[in-house]
Structure formats: structure tokens, C-alpha cells
Amino acid sequence: MIVYNEDARTLTLFTPHTCYQMKVDGEGRLLHTWYGRRPAAADMCPDFYEARAPHQDPGCWPDLLPLEYAAPGVGDNRIPACVPEYADGTQAADLRFAGYAVYPGKYALPGLPAFRASEQAQSLRVTLRDAGGLSVELWYAVYDDCDVITRAAVLTNAGERPLTLRQAASLCLDFPGVPLDFITMDGVWAGERTPARAPLRPGEQTIGSTKGIPGHGHSPAAILCAPDATETHGECWAAAFVYSGSFELSAERCEAGARLVCGIHPYHFAWTLEPGASFAAPETALVYSDAGLGEMSRRFHRAIRAHLLPPAWADAARPRPVLINSWEAFYFDFDEARLLELARAARSAGIDLFVLDDGWFAGREDDTTSLGDWVADRRKLPDGVPGLCERLNAMGMEFGIWVEPEAVSPNSALYRAHPDWALRIPGRDAFEIRHQYTLDFSRPEVVDGIWEQLDGLLSSCPIRYLKWDMNRSLATVYSAALPAARQGEVYHRYTLGVYELQRRLTEAYPDLLLENCAGGGARFDCGMLYYSPQIWCSDNTDACARTNIQYGTSLIYPYETMGAHFSTVPNHCTGHVTSRQARMALALSGTFGFELDLTKYSEEQLAQLRPDIEWYRAHGAMLRGGELYRLLLPDEKGTGAAWCIVAPDAGEAAVFCVGSALAGRGERCPCLVLRGLDENAVYEDEDGARWTGFLLQTLGLPLPGAFGQMPARRWYLRRVEPEAAR
């Protein structure tokens, strides 16, 4: 619900549990006055700014005002949301309110992913104008079903001369002067999205990426919370950027309070707007919770499931295939006979889908050659991809394949034919990373050329799954298709090109299961989830590492979006040896697949995998659609954690506990206290043991003592009718 109060000149956005308010002051500036808990009665919603600053001097410095969308050069010296540069060199804008409108449904951002429309959604457009000629439309959408508010900005040159945007953020959010903690999800390759929490100190704290992708270092999302906020208690504000390119997310603590700004990274960004032209800044999604980090996450998960994931895969009841990926089994060393041997072993275990990873295309014996030539190597696949697909289908398995569409090897037919398709600064030597260049996806003809190759591949046989990889950052960024004055547009146009190709793929092949990957988890963001319902979470499949990686990822993203596979020990990435049960618990919580050489398994060992696969099939809908409760957070070494996934009606639940919580600690009978259940119900596990929901949520679930290398245990609980309870 969106309400305008004419007397107070306030615009208030309501979700079932939250309230977001803006106010037009006497000078025509748009102030941000509140984002937090919703008053019990919407018609009694106060003017939060008047209540908080009843004697504010009308002539006070803009530095002290909570501005809804800030620009530089007119007295506000905090982080700006936008920086226009006019034709005379001026970099300033005094944005004043020029009107508003409310619309049913959801606004659209052409060429950009965004949370999808719903019957309950409403949109608000607020127009701000600067006398120099910049017009800004702030767009908001309210989702009543999941307590999410989205924001975007469209900047238009309403003047008579060209102007250049040096910065164009979608989010500027000011907070009052109260202590706050800043939580980001940071990491490295093989250790992505590890939470980092610290008090918000004076000055600016910034995360971001200039790599052309979000990168392994930082997720394009952040949380501000009360210092005492926990999983179950305290206020939290979270923002997730719906974008897959270079980004900057900054928090600033200053005299007036705190400010959070999120948008495209200003490095190498300079967008020319001719008179009448517009630029759409990517969307940011916002969630507020006064019930701790856990409820904040669940609200994000509901919104991503209902309004962001591709509609064809958003239904939790739609089965996801259990897959085997060939990479850790063979790397580049395979032929069709070895692949079919692996497929037969996988089929014996009950696996549905065989994924052929890197090394299948012409001349690809290692990572130094052939990227861009998406034609089968006939030495490995005598009858090409269709022949392998036909043989897999004959044994009852579906087929998937790996590609890296954004890259080209210097030693490839594509590069020899189109060397100008690669990003390269004129007059300088080409710069290789991983023995490859990046294709210039800012150019439509390059996108068209790669689309023709992928369309030919996907139409050649029934390919059910496509793994899209991207293994390097952008470098030597210069497009031969743009003049020198517009090279600052290349990074963003590149990202738009990626979106365009993924749009074509998903529209032409609506039943294709697309999984994005970027050297592991370097492009795990809401922009990618608009096209693919799952993203490879990390190249590190070690259970110890995955407890931290998947915990941090779950702060914003649902578990079922995380590509997670059961792999061998010692782990290929870390060398760790962990229990089979722990590796299975982490994989079952995600998309669930296998990443190992099953040809080395005996028939007895393959048979031991079938109960886990059958368990996933039986409970997959609940795992994909349930509410996540993080019960025990990972310790510093990542060797212990517990979580449960509860059906929305609390009728069933899956409980996972790994590592130190199960290990002997001198306690006679340790227990795990659950959450999210119906305390008035009786629950039964798979062994027939029963407890009331009240007991499970107060005294807890008894844990068996366990020893070994990261022990683990899982339970499936279902609600039983009262008359069935003993």
C-alpha cells in the first residue's frame, strides 16, 4: 500500500510488517524519514520527520538532512547517489520534488533483470528535477506477500545540451544517528561470501568490484543492524543489488547519522546522455526485520523464490534433477568410453543427469586453447555431442553441458576469424588471463555470433542443462565499436550484453536448466538469479569450507539456489578428509549433485548412495520451498553448524547438524533447540520417535554422541495427527 498525505506532504509505503516514508520539506527537497517497523494502524502513521526533528532549522546545511537521493555540489558532502557532469563542466545537482504517481503492478527496467510483477505489487514514481537539466525518476515497488521494497532510478537529460553521468546509484538510504553494525559477505576464490561484521565506524566503509563481475571478494549485498542483533532478535536492514557487473556499496557514518549507497561502480563509468535520453540504474531490493537476521533472510528468500527466479523453475514442487558432473572425475582427460562408464555408474546409483564439463570441444586438451569454438572434438566424441546425448538418453539419463561463452582463446578459430571481437586497448599488447581474452559483449554483433553457436549446440539434441562459466575478470577494457568519449559505457554495456544472451537462451529454451558459474562463486547475485534458478556456489566442495560459504550465502539467497555437490575425499581443493554424512548434508541442502569419479565405486558403494538420492527426491519440494532457520552458526574453523528447513505450514522439517555440535564435549545428552515448528503439534522422525513441537523448541532434539572427521546427522520430522500420537 502506498499513501500520500497532502497535509504533511509525506509518501508512505507499507508492507505487512514494514513502513518506508519520505517527506517533501518546505524547500522542495525529498527527505527520507523512516524505514522500519510498521505502525499498527496505517491511517495513524505519523510524520516521522516532524516527530524526530520538530525544531529543525529550515536553513540548515544539507549535510544534516536525510536526503532520499543525494547529489553533490550543493552542500551535501556525503556519498552522493548521482553525479551529473553538464556540458560546461559543472558537477552539481540540486534535486527538488516535481511530482509523484502510483501505479498498480511493477515498474519495468528495459534490458535489466528485476524482481518480477505480482498481483499484489504497487509501484511509486517520484520525480526530482535539477535546474541544470537533470531529471530523476525514483521508482519503488511494494510487495505485500514478502515484506520487500525495491528501488531503482531512471535519470533523464531534460536539458538542451549533452550531459555525462559520472555516477548513477539506485539506492541512497539515510539512517538516524544510532549505533549500527555493518555486515558484508566477503572472501576469496574457494572461500566466497564469508560474513564479516564490525561496528560502523566514522567515515566511509566500502565494498565493491571493478572486475566487470562482482568477483570472489565481495557479494553485492550488505546489512546494517543494531549492535545487539542476533539470529532471533534485533533490527536489521538488508540491501541486495540486482546486478552482475562492477558495483560499489558504501556505508558512511557522519554527524547526521549513517548513509547507505548502492550502485554501479563509478570506476570507468561515464554515460553520455543526449537531450531527451535516459539511463536506468539497476534495481536494489530492501528488507527490514525487527526479529533478527533469521527473519531478514527468510523474507529475502520468499521474495527471491516468488518474484525473481525464472517462472519455469520457481515452483518448489517442480523436481530438480540430481546430476553428476564430469570435472573432478576426469578434468580434461576423457573420451566417450570413459564418459559412458561414469554415466553407467551414476545411473546405477540413481542419478538423473550427466553433465559434460570442460574439455569436450575441438582441440581442448588443457586450458590454453579452443575457447570460443563450441564444436565437439571428434577424437573424444566420434559422433559429436548428439551421439553422446543419444547414448546417455538410451540408458535413461538426461544430458547437460558446460560452456564459457564470454571468453576466447588466442589459439581458436573464433579469434583467428574475429580478433577485433575481444576487448583490447588500441596500440597495446593483448593481455591474457588464464590463457584467454574476454569477448566484447558490449557489441550486439558479438552477442549475435555467440548466440548462433549456442543455439546450434542446444538445438542439436535434447540438452536439459547448461552450465555457463566465466573464469576471469575484465581487463584492457576498450570497445572498438564506441568512440573515445564513450569508453566509460563499456563495462555496463558488457553486462547488458550478458543479460541479453541469457534472455535469448531462457526464452528460446524455457525448459533448459541454466546454472551460472564464474570461477566458482564470483557472480552469485540477484541479477543472475533472474535467468538461472541456481548458481555454482564455490569451486570448493569441501564440507568444512562449505559450512561457512553456504551459511554466508544464505543471509540473502535461498539454499536451493546454491550449486552444491557431494565430492570425494581428500577434497580436490583443500585436501581435507570429512565424513560422508557431512558432505551429504551440505550437498542435500543445496541443488544436490555429485562431483567425483564414481567408476571407482563398487556396486555396494553405489548402492549406499541411493537412499540419499531417494531422500532428496521425496523431500525436495520441502527443501526448495521451506523456511530456513540457522540454529548453530559455523565456528571459526567451519567445523560445526546446524540448521533446519521447515515447510511453510510447519507440517514437516529437515534438520541438519554437522561437526562439533555432535562431537563429544563432556555433555551427557546435548540437545539442539529447533525453531519454526508448530509448538502444539506432535512430530515424528523416520525412526518413529515422537516429540511435541513445544519440547523441540524448548529443551531441543536429543543429539547422539559422535566421533570422527566432521560427524554429521540429519532428521526428517513430520507432523502427525493428534489421534496418531502416543
What are the catalytic residues?
Answer: 469, 539
Cis peptide before 321 (omega within 30 of 0): no
- Planar angle of CA 336, 337, 342, nearest 5 degrees: 95
Question: CB neighbours (10 Å) of residue 249?
Answer: 26
**CA of 86: how far to CAs of 46, 279, 468, in Å?**
39, 15, 40
Q: What share of the chain is helix, strand, coil (3-state, %, to 5)?
A: 25, 35, 45
What are the backbone dihedrals phi and psi of residue 283, each rounded to the nearest 5 degrees, phi first? -80, 150
Q: Which helix (H) or strand (E) covers residue 454, if one does?
A: helix 444-459
Q: How far apart are the first and last CA of the chain?
A: 47
Strands 218-225 and 181-188: antiparallel
Give the Cα separation of 438 and 421 in Å (integer): 9
Q: How many CB atoms lie within 10 A of CB 378?
A: 11
CB 66 within 8 A of CB 76: no
**254 vs 63, 78, 511, CA distance in Å?**
9, 8, 50
Name the H helices within 460-602. Answer: 490-508, 526-529, 543-554, 580-589
Buried b (16+ CB within 10 A) or exposed e, 388-402: bbebbeeeebbbbbb
Spatial distance between the Cα atoms of 524 and 220, rounded to a whole number of angstroms: 9
Instruction: List all residues 6 or more positions away from 324 whose beta carbon is below 8 Å from its beta carbon.
Output: 342, 343, 346, 351, 353, 354, 355, 593, 594, 595, 598
User: What are the residues facing 108 on neighbouring strands?
Assistant: none
Q: For residues 86 and 94, what is the distance between their CA atoms, to the nearest angstrom?
A: 13
DSSP-derived 3-state class of residue 361: strand
Convert 419-441 to b/e letters by CB count within 10 Å (16 or more is b). Answer: eebbbbeeeeeeeeeeebbbbbb
Q: Which long-range contacts (CB under 8 A, 24 or more apart) does 663-671 make?
A: 663/705, 663/706, 663/707, 663/711, 664/705, 664/706, 664/707, 669/702, 669/703, 670/702, 670/703, 670/705, 671/699, 671/700, 671/701, 671/702, 671/703
Instruction: Name the residue among 211, 214, 215, 231 with its Cα closest to residue 223.
Output: 231
Contact 465, 355 (CB under 8 A): yes
Residue 383 in contact with residue 360, Cβ under 8 Å?
no
